[in-house]
């Protein structure tokens, strides 16, 4: 899903892209102030990544950290929980789309 005009941009990667990420092109661990296993599934137009917590902590927005090997290392300000699960994340995207004025 590519929504470049939604906020600063909202992009949900294809299943193929997610699988490629799990094989090493994206981080699979979150380190620093928050430690977790993650699956990166999207990004925004401002350089942040969206990642699903493998331990059930929700959907993270990752910004300002360092990607070293398989770990995204960030302090507490670089990790924000934006939704309790993927379903609610996508629901929030839909709600934002429905609220936009289309000219």
* SS3 state of residue 36: strand
Q: What is the pLDDT of residue 19?
A: 96
Q: What is the pLDDT of residue 100?
A: 61
Q: Global pTM?
A: 0.90
Residues of the chain with pLDDT under 70: 100-103
Q: Are strands 59-62 and 66-68 parallel, antiparallel or unpaired?
A: unpaired
């Amino acid at each position: 899903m590519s929504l470049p005009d939604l906020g600063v941009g909202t992009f949900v990667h294809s299943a193929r892209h997610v699988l490629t990420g799990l094989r090493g092109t994206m981080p699979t661990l979150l380190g620093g102030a928050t430690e977790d296993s993650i699956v990166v599934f999207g990004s925004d137009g401002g350089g942040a990544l969206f990642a699903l917590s493998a331990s059930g902590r929700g959907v993270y927005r990752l910004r300002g950290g360092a990607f070293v090997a398989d770990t995204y290392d960030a302090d507490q300000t670089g990790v924000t929980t934006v939704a309790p699960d993927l379903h609610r994340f996508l629901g929030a995207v839909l709600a934002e789309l429905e609220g936009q004025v289309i000219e």
